[in-house]
Amino acid sequence: MQGQYKGFSTLLSAESPDQVHIWCYAHILNLVLGDTTGVVVASALLFSLLNDVAVFIRESYKRMNMWEEVSEDTPHRRLSPIVETRWWAKDQALSKIFGCFGNPDRALFIDLVSTLTRIEDDDSMKPHVRAKAMGYTESLLRFETILTAQIFLIILEITLPLSKYLQTIGMDLLTAHCRLQGGKGIVKVDNPACPPY
């Protein structure tokens, strides 16, 4: 972890040498989740794609107008670029495009693909813009992209409530432990090759 020489814990130890610094478990979980989204190439590609598409649509008024025409879900149609320092921004971008696992009703995936297809087919757009739209469409429709998105929807469905609970005032450690064990039970795979928790 950073801060070993100049971080918060070091400054606190300088002021109060007898203090014992305990890392916030929510912070540790958030660091793990942030690292997890960048370790595997498929997940790094997914979140990079979501960010790139959001920036691509938002950087042009014409493309933004097309997006607004296609998207019928007015309150949720705003595409969110991913801020690297906020891991929950990845959950927000992912769930906005793909919905919840097993419940894609509020997903904007079809609207996004439709918008990108309209941009690709629009002769008034510059060729490099149309080519980018075509590349984004192909990437979004790849099986690996959709599968990775669904896997992360499951992971974030379990870890996001736990992370939020770990940040509450008056958190009960026993309840936090039970939630953690419950999350492990959901993720556990009945496979003899997988070691038990």
Q: What is the DSSP letter of 106?
A: G
The whole-angstrom distance between residue 61's C-alpha and the CA centroid of its chain comes to 26
Distance CA 178, CA 173 (A): 9
Q: What pLDDT shows up at residue 85?
A: 60
Residues 6+ apart with CB under 8 A from 139: 45, 49, 145
Indicate the pTM of the whole model: 0.73
* Intra-chain end-to-end CA distance of the chain, in Å: 24
What integer best gives the mean pLDDT of the chain?
Answer: 80
The domains of the chain are located at 41-168
Q: Residue 18 above 70 pLDDT?
A: yes
Is 2's pLDDT higher than 80? no
Task: Give the pLDDT confidence score for residue 12 in this predicted structure.
Answer: 77
Q: How far apart are the C-alpha atoms of 9 and 56, rounded to whole Å?
A: 40
User: Cα separation of 183 and 169, whole Å?
Assistant: 21
